Chain A
């Protein structure tokens, strides 16, 4: 219920202030000016990483088209789009780090914060919502919390494009479902122990079947 001030005007919930812009410069470490194209001579980039980005740029008529693929590659290598990772990509692509950051901040899969190298995306999209996906998410998030699962991002996600498997989660890109809250301990334990969660219940498993017998 709302409180009202003494003029009888109800106190409406204000939009909470958004998070402060992350400190791109980092903790005192000199990272260069994000609005300047880095001088390639001043940035050390591992050879294989440089080659990977160059190969991506060559696929397109305009090298900037390789931005998202290069950021995917950076994230796969460094775990997140860290200021240093952005600087390396910027040096190879000859764009500014702030341009890369403007792109990274737009896309859900690109992280400018270290959220964990492992990812559990639990779909709570509309089709999953009606089969109680939120309970699955809550169970996994709670299990991860109480067991202290580290280096893992557990988050709600919008439709993963597998509503036939609802409720579903993507664990490091592997789709598993339909899930029940009681699957949470096994999912979390297998991530911790480096096992494949719920073998046979992943979309790519050759014997995968929906509960009613259909293929997905």
Chain B
């Protein structure tokens, strides 16, 4: 097949990126300029978002499928150099993949003049060294160029100026693993399952408080309850779902009744959350929302690269405020300040790492405000502070009272 035909088939299939943003894969590949310059394909195998472990499975069990997807994707986009950026912790997976790549070279599927044709492509496995941010599509090229993994200002987008400032297609492992089957069976076949705008199947990683955590391949549009309860067995005996992240730790949390929603890109977005990488973390009613929010915020503070201010400062102060909530030094007014900080992070950062904390933390304050307030009250009592109610919960007076 010619590159144009490959592109056409991928666009027709409606395949959306499985790495987080859900952007149409064929369309993104078609953004790369034509011409004879060096073009790059980067397979994003950095998988570091809490709750995500589907790429690990594909790398471990289907490495050849990925290599094939990369070769077809590169042919469609006209790329002549391909890289797989794999997170440093995936040592076992890197070994397996390395073997698969060498086999592909030995067979002549990769390298100079593939199978005697005029197409040549190189494929290099590149190990990261422990930085979540390097999965972001502009930080990844910087890291691959041997620098600190700082995101770049967009535009230009990687399709125009990515790796080594050349046109670059960046796709997730699972996205690329879908490609060979689409080309073999056709776009119609792929579209025949899923919903109109969320075509195909998806691997969901279900974890947290469930009886059968694991990766499950589902048809997009399946009721969320069937995934959480039917496949993953629901929370342990006697426990109820308190909240769940539909798309990894970056997704705003949903609650029990939202399990009736259909699990697809549009429905999750309409519900105010996102499907993201398709990682469902289930949290049962034995968990404290405060310590969950704190643990989550600590992750983003640790992983913030520090390049832009709203993310660097916002994640840091959110952690500090949550620590005050946890220890009983906060007042309900602090919750408003904290919610305000989240609003000011969203949309104001170089990349969406800051938003990835602000959205879930904001959603927790909104949906579980009573629990936050109750926690503050109880912690204050434990600490011997006066009940807030006596002060009408006003921040200035309340702080004064602890000082007395």
Contact = CB atoms under 8 A, between A and B. Distances in A.
Contacts of B128: 68, 107
Given A103-B146, A124-B295, A127-B207, A173 B92 contact: yes
Contact of A163 (B148, B208, B303): B208
B154 interface: no
Contacts of B348: none
Interface stretch (A43-51, A140-148, A154-162): A154-162
Nearest to B211: A212
Interface in B270-313: 279, 281, 283-284, 287, 291-292, 295-296, 299, 302-303, 305
A95 B88 CA distance: 23
A86 interface: no
Interface string A79-103: 0000000000000000000000011
A163 B50 contact: yes
Contacts of B214: 164, 210, 214-216
A71 B129 CA distance: 9
A127 B284 CA distance: 12
Nearest to B296: A126
Contacts of A1: 329, 383-385, 402-403
Interface string A157-183: 111111110100010011100000000
B400 interface: yes
A158 B357 CA distance: 15
Give the size range of B's interface with the partner. Answer: 35 or more
A65 B144 contact: yes
Q: Which of B127, B129, B403 has the most CB of A within 10 A?
A: B129
Interface stretch (B10-18, B51-59, B108-116, B184-192): B51-59
A161 B53 CA distance: 5
B211 A158 contact: no
A125 B299 contact: yes
Contact of A127 (B51, B211, B212, B403): B51
Nearest to B295: A129
A163 B207 contact: yes
B295 A126 contact: yes
B31 interface: no
Contact of A2 (B57, B212, B303, B403): B403
Given A1-B385, A106-B131, A210-B213, A164 B233 contact: no
A45 B393 CA distance: 66
Q: Which of A59, A124, A162, A164 has the most CB of B within 10 A?
A: A164
A164 B209 contact: no
Contact of B209 (A68, A130, A159, A203): A130
A170 B81 contact: no
B402 A126 contact: no
Contacts of A129: 291-292, 295
Contacts of A160: 89
Contacts of B48: 158-159, 161
A64 interface: yes
A41 interface: no
Given A65-B146, A130-B292, A163-B50, 17 more contacts: A3-B403, A62-B164, A106-B131, A107-B131, A125-B249, A126-B249, A126-B281, A130-B281, A158-B48, A158-B132, A161-B90, A163-B52, A163-B53, A164-B207, A173-B92, A214-B212, A216-B214
20 contacts: A2-B329, A10-B402, A64-B145, A67-B147, A107-B129, A108-B130, A109-B88, A109-B130, A110-B129, A126-B281, A126-B299, A127-B281, A129-B291, A158-B48, A159-B48, A159-B52, A164-B207, A175-B92, A214-B214, A215-B214
